[in-house]
Every structure is written in C-alpha cells, then in structure tokens.
Amino acid sequence: MHPSLARKMMEISIKTGGCVKVDLKAMDERLNIALCGVSNTRTLENFRMLSSLFKMRSNPPSLVASTLLIPGYVDENEVGAIARFIAELNPDIPYSLLAFHPNFLMRDLPSTCRKHAELARDAALAEGLTRVKVCNLHLLTDAY
C-alpha cells in the first residue's frame, strides 16, 4: 500500500475510534516472498510510519499487528524477530498471534498446535511486548 494511503487510514482510525490491523507475515524477506509472493519491505516501512502515530491514541489501540502461526514456516524465532521489530517502535502496540487452519492453498499443513502457540507467545513477550494475545484458540490442536 502506498504510504500516503496508510497514513490516511490511520488518521481516520484515530478520529473514529477504529484501528488499522497490519498482518506481519514474516521478518525474513525470503520467507515473506515464499508466503505472499512479494517483499515485506513496504509493509515494514508502513508499519514503522504508522507506529509513530500510535501514541496519538493508544486506548483503544489505533494500530495492531498480527501474525499467522503457519506450522513449518512461522515459528517462535520468526515471531521473536517480528516482536523485536514492534518493540523497538513501541512495546505497547498490541500483537495478535493467529492460529492457522489449513484452507485454500495450504491444505497439506496441520492446524497450529498449542505448544507452537505458547512458544510464539513466550518469544513475543521475551522481546518486551506488553500486549500479546493468542487468537483463534478454538483452532489449536495437539497435532505435532
């Protein structure tokens, strides 16, 4: 997304009580390209810019980040790297870790297991984030 559009979305969010949710798939650019087909450079630049506006309204949060915990791809090390990036910008930006469920093009993978989610949450908290939540708990399994 062009940065001017991202900024406009954030300004509207701040005024209206809404939020901008940015899906940070991966910090590793090669992994992001494998998962999305594009670089994460613009996404990270936009998130950095949006985080500078977060302090204008942090409650309810005007900006949130999320990451899909894809088994075999997005592990606690990748989540730790993403969390470090967020924490350096503002450790109070909420971060949601989303349980994966096989669908569409990735039907050959299992749903995220509880241990995977716990390790990812612990890695994000260890990087200094204060608002980390595991979401889609009903999708978690004990598969691996």
What are the residue boundaries of the structural domains of the chain, listed by start? 3-8+20-139
pLDDT at residue 121 in the model = 98
Q: Which fold has domain 3-8+20-139?
A: TIM Barrel (3.20.20)
pLDDT at residue 58 in the model = 78
Q: Report the distance separating Cα 138 and Cα 76, nearest Å.
A: 20
Tokens of 40: 């994460």
**pLDDT per residue rounded down to tens, the chain (144 residues):** 999 999 999 999 999 999 999 999 999 999 999 999 999 999 999 999 999 999 898 789 999 999 999 999 999 999 999 999 999 999 999 999 999 999 877 888 999 999 999 999 999 999 999 999 999 999 999 988
Q: Report the distance separating Cα 68 and Cα 97, nearest Å.
A: 6
List the Cα angle 18/20/139 in 5-degree steps: 100
| Beta-carbon count within 10 A of 30 CB | 10
pLDDT at residue 103 in the model = 83
List the Cα angle 92/64/55 in 5-degree steps: 50
Across the strands, what pairs with 113? 141
pLDDT at residue 114 in the model = 97
* Residues 6+ away with beta carbon under 8 Å from 2: none
